[in-house]
């Protein structure tokens, strides 16, 4: 019973938070506190919220989706608060409020469909605006509803106090104290939202003042909060926070000023307040082009869940820094063994203009030459007749197999591309493998191929003076179509004697690359299969404790390592054929899982020795809150919250050890984190011992004991 009450209360608080695009119940509590400073106004707001939700449930709407409930609830809340501000409390007012809220639900339902589908924009608080205008107009005729009186003396006139009043006005409490409470709630839940409110307001205020607008507008006509809301919406809620969107946020505030003035003028004969109309108009006008037309440079829409500006950005920044862009096509190497890229993207010979995104692969021997002997015969070349395999699963759409291989040094410029295989891949992306050997292609048009399936052999046909493979990603199934930007997956580059593993990237001219050969034993030790339990006995300085992890998978396939005994924490993981990666970590600062996340952020299932790789996991969850907030504030400008790491895998008798070095000195507040972590694995058992060091001293040691 108390559980249901608690979750209902939480739902109500989340609705309060929703008004400023937040989800935190603590912020909601601050906002609720702001509304009940004048108790009857707060009561009206709560009543409106409850009526709307009741109406929605009464109509049988599926309020199992809490987003819906918050949406209707927020409409009711705003209508109620507005009623509380504009009318005196009384039975007539409350009846009118209930009716208005029921109408609000209907209007919200009707408009939401239209706005979502036709305009493809968020509905914001449009139902509230329309219903409240309607109610205000209707109230003139109903004598029973008495308008409230405003004090005509506003003692303070400074920008700061008007700002606080504007914040309070988001909840129809245009006084400094509620505004301060709202600001407190904002700072608690999302520092960037608070910053954007200030930015939007400052821009709007500055425009108003500069253009000589009457400050009374800002004091009496409840206009300033439109600047605030527009600044937040454009700055980081639907667009990813970035230096550009900060500028746009100021622009939104400024535009809101203009639109507010215009709306004031428009509504003057009707004596209606502008409500949130300028905010909605400006936000729609700016979001529509920015969300739907792809502009480059710093303006990107938020994909997926809408959270606070810094959470939206953190998701993307982390993913972008560590993982391939989901909109970029990625492929495995189309060849086996070690090859040299003799021409890459934007190459100096032929990869230019519309065909810039291509790679030429050749094999060189120890002497750095692509041939043995004197290099006059095709068979002298290492690459000649090397098998070419499919870089991803797909379907064969074109095969050219009949052209002769040129003698060394001659080219065929009539059939530029030579013998080739053109593949279609899911996502309407095509790849071309060109200059193949005559009669060496073993697949036919229309055939489905799997990744790694042999297709043909490297030859010397087409515009090819010596045997090499030309590989490009392209937009259409035509031979010689313009290329598309694509990246290669899971390969190792050889730099002198060091080998570096790369998850995704664009190898450049002169680089030697080889695909990752998967070691079954390493893979088996790292799969962290769902259902596995890891019982660790941990010693950290004088403290000893036990921590038990379990590997979970949900219905959508999302996998996590969850601490089931010990301080609750979770780490999202992903493991496939080629590598295992820990995507993020959420939990307290001093758990073993957090150390595991830092050490095992990315581990390819390699069997090669002396391979290292780099990564940059975010450490915001692992640093103290001042450093975390600093990192958050710097996030749009630099990647402040991620620590560069360098890892290598060393095999030994009974298994292997993953050793990670962390450059903690590069991140503010990370000085207490370990700078070296080793995770020892045993064949057949997986991780068995974790050790974390800082400056040579052992910080934490954990032994598996299950």
Partner 1 sequence: MSRLPYEKPTIIKHYTGLANKLGRGPSRRDLARIDGVSIDALIEQYGTPLFVFSEHTLRQKYRDTHRAFTLRYPKVQISWSYKTNYLDAVCQVFHDEGSWAEVVSEIEYGMARRLGVPGNRILFNGPYKPEESLRVAIKEGAHIHVDHYDELYLIERIAKELGTRIDVALRINMDTGILPRWDRFGFNLDNGEALDAIRRVHAGGHLGIEGLHTHIGTFMLDPAAYGRAAAKLAGLAKQVKETTGTPVKYLDFGGGFASRATLHAQYAPGTDASPPIDDYAEAITSALLAAGFPPSELPTLMLETGRAMVDEAGFMVSRVVGNKRLANGTRALVIDAGVNVLFTSFWYRHDVLPVHDRGGMMEETVVYGPLCMNIDVVRPSVLLPPLEPGDALVIRPVGAYNLTQSMQFIRLRPACVLIGENQQVDLIRAAEVLDDVKGPERLPARFQPKRAKKA
Q: Does 576 bind partner 1 (CB under 8 A)?
A: no
Closest separation between CB of residue 396 and partner 1, Å?
Answer: 17
Residues 515-554 that bind partner 1 (CB under 8 A): 515, 517-518, 520
Task: Find, among 490, 504, 506, 449, the residue nearest to 326 by Cα.
Answer: 504
Single residue of 524, 608, 657, 678 touching partner 1 by CB under 8 A = 608
Q: How far apart, in whole angstroms, are the C-alpha atoms of residue 133 and residue 129?
A: 6
Stretch binding partner 1 (CB under 8 A), from 167-175, 513-521, 580-588, 667-675: 513-521
Q: Between vectors from CA 595 to CA 591 and to CA 598, what angle results, nearest 5°?
A: 140
Q: How far apart, in whole angstroms, are the C-alpha atoms of residue 157 and residue 66?
A: 41
Q: Between vectors from CA 419 to CA 413 and to CA 422, what angle results, nearest 5°?
A: 115
Stretch binding partner 1 (CB under 8 A), from 318-326, 342-350, 380-388, 504-512: 380-388
Residue whose token pair is 């009464």: 58
CA-based max dimension of the chain: 105
Residue among 127 and 686 whose Cβ is closer to partner 1: 686
Residue among 537 and 689 whose Cβ is closer to partner 1: 689
Residues 206-235 that bind partner 1 (CB under 8 A): none
* Cβ-proximal residues to 542 (8 Å cutoff; 6+ apart), any chain: none
- For the record, the structure tokens of 35 come out as 């509304």
Closest separation between CB of residue 655 and partner 1, Å?
Answer: 9
Stretch binding partner 1 (CB under 8 A), from 11-19, 190-198, 463-471, 510-518: 510-518
- Neighbour count for residue 288 (Cβ, 10 Å): 13
Inter-residue contact 479 to 432 (CB < 8 Å): yes
Task: Find, among 111, 113, 151, 148, the residue nearest to 131 by Cα.
Answer: 111
Residues 345-364, mask of contacts with partner 1 (x by CB under 8 A): ------------------x-
Single residue of 210, 321, 369, 609 touching partner 1 by CB under 8 A = 609
Residues 611-630 that bind partner 1 (CB under 8 A): none
Query: How many residues lie near partner 1 (CB under 8 A)?
Result: 30
Q: How far apart, in whole angstroms, are the C-alpha atoms of residue 704 and residue 532?
A: 13
Closest separation between CB of residue 520 and partner 1, Å?
Answer: 7
What DSSP character marks residue 181? Answer: H
Residue whose token pair is 């700002």: 163
Residue among 218 and 606 whose Cβ is closer to partner 1: 606
Inter-residue contact 571 to 558 (CB < 8 Å): no
Single residue of 60, 653, 696, 697 touching partner 1 by CB under 8 A = 653
Closest separation between CB of residue 337 and partner 1, Å?
Answer: 4
Single residue of 450, 529, 544, 650 touching partner 1 by CB under 8 A = 450
Single residue of 66, 244, 338, 646 touching partner 1 by CB under 8 A = 338
Q: How far apart, in whole angstroms, are the C-alpha atoms of residue 280 and residue 126?
A: 7
Q: How far apart, in whole angstroms, are the C-alpha atoms of residue 292 and residue 122?
A: 13
Closest separation between CB of residue 367 and partner 1, Å?
Answer: 9
Q: Does 451 bind partner 1 (CB under 8 A)?
A: yes
- For the record, the structure tokens of 56 come out as 């929605």
- For the record, the structure tokens of 247 come out as 């500028």
Q: Does 65 bind partner 1 (CB under 8 A)?
A: no
Single residue of 184, 324, 452, 505 touching partner 1 by CB under 8 A = 452
Residue among 366 and 495 whose Cβ is closer to partner 1: 366
Residue whose token pair is 């997986």: 686
Q: Does 365 bind partner 1 (CB under 8 A)?
A: yes
DSSP 394-415: EEEEEEE--PPPPPTT---SSS
Closest separation between CB of residue 455 and partner 1, Å?
Answer: 11
* Cβ-proximal residues to 559 (8 Å cutoff; 6+ apart), any chain: 528, 530, 551, 552, 553, 572, 573, 574, 575
Stretch binding partner 1 (CB under 8 A), from 91-99, 126-134, 449-457, 500-508: 449-457
Residue 537: enclosing H or E segment and its boundaries? strand 533-540
Q: Does 335 bind partner 1 (CB under 8 A)?
A: yes
Residue whose token pair is 């006509």: 221
Residue among 374 and 653 whose Cβ is closer to partner 1: 653
Closest separation between CB of residue 518 and partner 1, Å?
Answer: 8
Q: How far apart, in whole angstroms, are the C-alpha atoms of residue 96 and residue 469?
A: 76
Closest separation between CB of residue 487 and partner 1, Å?
Answer: 20
* Cβ-proximal residues to 474 (8 Å cutoff; 6+ apart), any chain: 429, 430, 431, 432, 481, 482, 483, 484
Report H helices in 39-156. 39-58, 66-86, 91-114, 126-141
Single residue of 130, 514, 548, 572 touching partner 1 by CB under 8 A = 514
Single residue of 161, 350, 415, 453 touching partner 1 by CB under 8 A = 453
Stretch binding partner 1 (CB under 8 A), from 227-235, 253-261, 485-493, 511-519: 511-519
Residue among 494 and 552 whose Cβ is closer to partner 1: 494
Residue whose token pair is 């930015």: 199
Inter-residue contact 45 to 13 (CB < 8 Å): no
- For the record, the structure tokens of 534 come out as 């890891």
Closest separation between CB of residue 607 and partner 1, Å?
Answer: 8
Residue among 439 and 663 whose Cβ is closer to partner 1: 439
Q: Does 685 bind partner 1 (CB under 8 A)?
A: no
Closest separation between CB of residue 615 and partner 1, Å?
Answer: 25
> What are the C-alpha distances in Å from 469 to residues 245, 356, 419, 455?
44, 15, 11, 12
Closest separation between CB of residue 445 and partner 1, Å?
Answer: 21
Closest separation between CB of residue 366 and partner 1, Å?
Answer: 5
Residue among 195 and 525 whose Cβ is closer to partner 1: 525
Stretch binding partner 1 (CB under 8 A), from 46-54, 195-203, 332-340, 460-468: 332-340
Q: Does 683 bind partner 1 (CB under 8 A)?
A: yes
Q: How far apart, in whole angstroms, are the C-alpha atoms of residue 73 and residue 63?
A: 11
Single residue of 348, 366, 368, 374 touching partner 1 by CB under 8 A = 366
Q: How far apart, in whole angstroms, are the C-alpha atoms of residue 205 and residue 610?
A: 61
> What are the C-alpha distances in Å from 75 to residues 19, 48, 607?
9, 8, 59
What DSSP character marks residue 303? Answer: P
Residues 479-498 that bind partner 1 (CB under 8 A): none
Q: Does 382 bind partner 1 (CB under 8 A)?
A: yes
Residues 384-403, mask of contacts with partner 1 (x by CB under 8 A): -xxx----------------
Single residue of 652, 666, 671, 705 touching partner 1 by CB under 8 A = 652
Q: Does 255 bind partner 1 (CB under 8 A)?
A: no
Packing angle, helices 176-189 and 191-210, rounded to 10: 140
Footprint of partner 1 on this chain (CB under 8 A)? 335-338, 363, 365-366, 382-383, 385-387, 450-454, 514-515, 517-518, 520, 577, 608-609, 651-654, 683
């Amino acid at each position: 019973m108390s559980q249901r009450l608690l979750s209902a209360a939480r739902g109500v608080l989340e609705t309060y938070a929703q008004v400023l695009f937040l989800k935190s119940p603590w912020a909601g509590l601050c906002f609720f506190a702001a509304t009940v400073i004048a108790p009857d106004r707060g009561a009206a707001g709560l009543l409106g919220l409850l009526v709307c939700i009741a109406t929605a449930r009464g109509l049988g709407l599926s309020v199992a989706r809490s987003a819906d409930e918050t949406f209707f609830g927020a409409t009711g809340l705003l209508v109620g608060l507005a009623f509380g501000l504009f009318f005196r409390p009384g039975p007539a007012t409350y009846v009118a409020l209930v009716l208005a809220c029921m109408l609000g639900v209907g209007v919200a339902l009707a408009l939401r469909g239209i706005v979502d589908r036709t305009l493809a924009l968020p509905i914001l608080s449009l139902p509230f605006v329309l219903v409240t205008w309607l109610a205000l107009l209707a109230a003139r005729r109903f004598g029973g509803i008495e308008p409230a009186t405003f004090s005509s003396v506003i003692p303070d006139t400074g920008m700061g106090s008007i700002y606080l009043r504007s914040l309070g006005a988001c909840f129809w409490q245009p006084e400094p104290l509620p505004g301060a409470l709202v600001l407190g709630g904002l700072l608690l839940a999302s520092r960037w939202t608070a910053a954007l409110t200030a930015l939007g307001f400052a821009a709007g205020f500055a425009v108003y003042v500069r253009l000589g607008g009457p400050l009374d507008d800002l004091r009496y006509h409840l206009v300033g909060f439109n600047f605030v809301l527009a600044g937040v919406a454009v700055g980081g809620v639907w667009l990813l926070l970035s230096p550009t969107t900060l500028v746009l946020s100021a622009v939104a505030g400024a535009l809101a000023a203009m639109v507010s003035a215009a709306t004031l003028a428009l509504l003057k004969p009707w004596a209606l307040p502008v409500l949130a109309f300028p905010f909605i108009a400006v936000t729609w006008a700016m979001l529509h082009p920015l969300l739907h037309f792809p502009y480059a440079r710093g303006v990107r829409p938020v994909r997926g869940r809408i959270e606070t500006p810094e959470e939206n950005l953190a998701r993307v920044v982390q993913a972008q820094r560590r993982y391939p862009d989901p909109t970029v096509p990625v492929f495995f190497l189309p060849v086996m063994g070690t090859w040299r890229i003799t021409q890459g993207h934007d190459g100096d010979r032929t990869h230019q203009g519309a065909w810039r995104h291509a790679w030429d692969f050749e094999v060189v021997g120890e002497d750095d030459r692509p041939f043995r002997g004197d290099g006059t015969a095709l068979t002298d070349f290492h690459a000649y007749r090397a098998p070419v395999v499919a870089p991803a699963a797909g379907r064969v759409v074109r095969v050219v197999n009949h052209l002769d291989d040129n003698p060394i040094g001659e080219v065929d410029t009539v059939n530029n591309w030579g013998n080739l295989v053109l593949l279609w891949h899911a996502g309407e992306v095509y790849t071309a493998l060109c200059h193949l050997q005559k009669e060496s292609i073993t697949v036919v048009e229309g055939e489905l191929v799997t990744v790694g399936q042999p297709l043909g052999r490297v030859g010397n046909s087409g515009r090819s003076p010596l045997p090499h493979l030309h590989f490009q990603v392209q937009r259409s199934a035509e031979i010689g179509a313009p290329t598309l930007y694509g990246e290669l997956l899971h390969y190792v580059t050889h730099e002198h004697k060091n080998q570096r593993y790369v998850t995704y990237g664009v190898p450049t001219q002169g680089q030697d690359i080889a695909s990752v050969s998967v070691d079954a034993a390493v893979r088996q030790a790292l799969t962290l299969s769902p259902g596995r339990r890891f019982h660790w006995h941990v010693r950290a300085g004088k403290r000893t404790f036990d921590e038990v992890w379990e590997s979970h998978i949900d219905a959508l396939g999302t996998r996590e390592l969850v601490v089931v005994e010990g301080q609750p924490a979770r780490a999202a993981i992903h493991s496939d054929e080629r590598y295992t990666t820990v995507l993020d970590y959420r939990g307290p600062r001093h758990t073993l899982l957090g150390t595991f996340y830092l050490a095992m952020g990315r581990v390819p299932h390699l069997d090669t020795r002396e391979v290292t790789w780099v990564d940059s996991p975010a450490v915001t969850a692992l640093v103290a809150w001042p450093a975390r907030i600093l990192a958050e504030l710097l996030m749009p400008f630099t990647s402040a919250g991620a620590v560069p790491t360098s890892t290598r895998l060393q095999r030994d008798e009974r298994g292997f050890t993953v050793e990670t070095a962390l450059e903690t000195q590069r991140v503010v507040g990370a000085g207490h984190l370990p700078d070296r972590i080793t995770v020892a694995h045993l064949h057949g058992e997986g991780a068995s011992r974790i050790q974390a060091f800082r400056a040579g001293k052992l910080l934490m040691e954990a032994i598996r004991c299950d």
